[in-house]
Amino acid sequence: MWKSNINLVNIFLHNTQNRSMKINFNKILAKLMEQNKINQLQLAALLGVRQSQVSNWLNGKSLPGYYSIRMICTKLNVSADTLLEIE
């Protein structure tokens, strides 16, 4: 359910680099994984990334790039607005 909101993704990526907004990405991703009943390894396989990458996202050590954000939205059937909720 990728809704191509390029501006939102660009704002997300820009602000996470500058740390000017509090990002809850890891909590949102964990909730979506729970709702879809998938674990880190399963999500990694769906997205074509390493499990350690998913682990880093969930632990707040790193954030996904544009392509991964798009894939998460598509595979978990969620809008970019929902995935990239910014406080």
Sequence spans of domains, the chain:
6-83
Query: pLDDT by residue (tens digit) across 13-50?
Result: 665 554 544 568 889 999 999 999 999 999 999 999 99
Q: Please say if the pLDDT value at position 74 is more than 70.
A: yes
In angstroms, what CA-CA distances link 40 with 4, 7, 9, 21, 73? Answer: 25, 28, 23, 26, 16
- Position 8 scores a pLDDT of 58
Fold of the domain built from segment(s) 6-83: 434 Repressor (Amino-terminal Domain) (1.10.260)
Tracing tokens 């350690």 back to the chain, one arrives at 52
- Please say whether the beta carbons of 3 and 73 come within 8 A: yes
Tracing tokens 């740390």 back to the chain, one arrives at 19
